[in-house]
Chain A
Amino acid sequence: MNFEYLGYYNYLVFAILLMIGFYAVISKGNLIKKLVGLSIFQSAVFLMYISMGKVEGGTAPILQKGVVDQVYSNPLPQVLILTAIVVGVATLSLGLAIVVRIKERYGTIEERELLDAD
């Protein structure tokens, strides 16, 4: 079997997930559903970064004593994504808080009904 193209599978899944999230953001009228789409979009980007950091035959970048010639995966994308996940949940909550206030003010979170109400 030829595994040459399997190496791109992660990136293909990244493209598909990114666009599934994007589809939810542009086509759904429900504000919560848009935020759900945005989380999928964000997760897809995380997947791309972590895939880039993988090194063939490598292991998690925690050094092992007495082991020489061990290949380690790239720690830098992991650090960026680790912090981005926590920032992601904080900003997502900010979005949800705004949606909750919109619901209380207008009684709906559907985009079309909001436009009609204004």
Chain B
Amino acid sequence: MNQSIQILTHLPIDIPGLMASLRSPITGGIVLFSGEVRNINKGREVSFLEYEAYELMAQKKITEIVEYAIRKWELNTALCVHRLGRLEISDCAVLVLTASMHRAQAYDANRFIIDMVKREVPIWKKEYYTDGSFEWGNNIDCQCNVTAEQSIHAHSLLPTREDHLLS
């Protein structure tokens, strides 16, 4: 991953600029995933979101995930940027770009990266609702598509523990 890219940012994510930064004569396809702020979650009307991160660890984890995906799918390049702070409806919360010679690798790697970011990176979302209440998010029940094989392979490079305390 390009080291000059800011992985965590409080500013709006520059999607066209980052997309342009990945273009290369050797690339046949770029897959773009933008995770956006939805106005309804679990039947409740969302007003806005706030994201926070354990920043040093989150940057390190995202870098490890992206570098692993580049190696596994032999991508030309890839990046992932996550927003922090207050986000409004339809803002881009997370951007994943994967560039490869052929589209299959770019699609597979992109899905892997976003699933791993949701599962493995210390970032938290606080949802504020239009009725004035709020709730912290939880990705435990998210529909991640990381297969057992991918997860095992990733874990050999991304040391994590599933241990839960007091359990």
Does chain A bind chain B?
no
